[in-house]
Amino acid sequence: MPAPKTPSLTTDVVILLPDGRVVLVRRKYPPPGWALPGGFVEVGERVEEAAVREAKEETGLAVTLDHLLHIYSEPGRDPRQHTAAAVFLGRAAGDPSGADDAAEARAFSFDELPSPIAFDHAQILADARRFLLTGVRRRP
């Protein structure tokens, strides 16, 4: 019997720098816009490992993961296909540098985020900010 079709597993990281700014990447490929560093989990890879790997590939930063923020799985969150993303809060130091499939990587304050923000990452950033300010996570 063939395996059932399921959403693709991805991971994203809200990377916080010591000054409180968050790192975003400008996407090189469609859909356009600014996004959290992240990508697909490879077979044989733990989700946490994929998060750290993708962050390093796209920003050049060595990230330490602190919290699992939430699992985002709205079927329309990625216009290319149905994905389910494990989103982490992490921290890093240094200057981000866009690489891999990121045309650019930059740090922004939560009050001055760029536009447009791709996927559902504006909601994720709002959830992360609320958690950082209040300790309250998004409910399932």
As annotated, the active-site residues are 104
Burial (Cβ within 10 Å: 0-12, 13-18, ≥19) of residue 110: middle
Please state, in angstroms and rounded to a whole number, the distance separating the CA atoms of residues 87 and 32. Answer: 20
CB count in 10 Å sphere of residue 4:
5
Distance CA 111, CA 43 (A): 37
The CA-based diameter of the chain, rounded to the nearest angstrom, is 53
- Alpha carbon 37 to its chain centroid, in Å, reads 4
Tokens 């216009």 belong to which residue?
A: 79
